[in-house]
Amino acid sequence: MNQPRRKPRAYAPDPDAPHQGCDAAGCAHMGEYRAPKSRSQSREFFWFCLEHVRQFNASWDYYKGMSPGEIEAELRADTAWQRPSWPLGRLGQTARMENSLEEELHAFTFGHARTPVKPATPPELRDALNVLGLTWPVALAAVKAKYKELAKRHHPDANGGDKASEERLKLINLAYATLRGKLPSYQATQAAAE
């Protein structure tokens, strides 16, 4: 990635490292790599193992606005280093990277990158789709097939005239009517966009 770096840093153990453990909470390795506590206080350092100095440097922007004390508190928090979406995720960087990866995959699979990876469900269709157990995007043919299956399963005749089944079937009918009425306009839009 083309992130501006303060200076290219060779990851070599620091000869001046004090013989102490890594500053990352819960890490048992030796802290042999230094990282400045802040841009201004460059004479104060954290000491990390290789893995954690890399993580720290990669997350530098995340700590930018914090005082050294705040950074320290964050680093000492038990969960800080174990969190799967550790600072990078909060920065939004991980999400962005995943997005572009997804886009690349999509372009590879479908031959064009412009189509949204996963189109948002139209709000007016959400409830109806939930009732039928479908996810967006969906074709009208699939809606019809699913409707037939559910209507059969929840028909009161198939359930000894059960009241709950009858109510369920009403919802299913309503959901189907909604989708049958509105879906074609969405699919026309989709076809025009491709």
Give the nearest distance from C-beta 185 to Zn ion in angstroms.
56
Give the nearest distance from C-beta 35 to Zn ion in angstroms.
11
Cβ 75 vs Cβ 24: under 8 Å: yes
Nearer to Zn ion, 29 or 152 (CB): 29
Nearer to Zn ion, 50 or 142 (CB): 50
Q: Where does this chain bind Zn ion (CB under 5 A)?
A: 22, 24, 27, 29, 49, 52
Nearer to Zn ion, 82 or 185 (CB): 82
Report which of 45, 43, 13 is spatially closest to residue 29, judged by C-alpha positions.
13
Give the nearest distance from C-beta 26 to Zn ion in angstroms.
9
Q: How many CA atoms lie within 13 A of 105 on its CB side?
A: 8
Nearer to Zn ion, 82 or 135 (CB): 82
What element of type H or E holds 46? strand 45-48
Local structure of residue 133 (DSSP, 8 states): T
Using DSSP bridges, classify how beta strands 45-48 and 33-36 pair: parallel, antiparallel or unpaired: antiparallel
Nearer to Zn ion, 32 or 138 (CB): 32
Token pair of 131, please? 């009732």
Give the nearest distance from C-beta 139 to Zn ion in angstroms.
51
Local structure of residue 21 (DSSP, 8 states): B
Give the nearest distance from C-beta 127 to Zn ion in angstroms.
49
Neighbouring residues of 144: CB distance < 8 A, sequence distance ≥ 6: 180
Beta-ladder partners of 45:
36
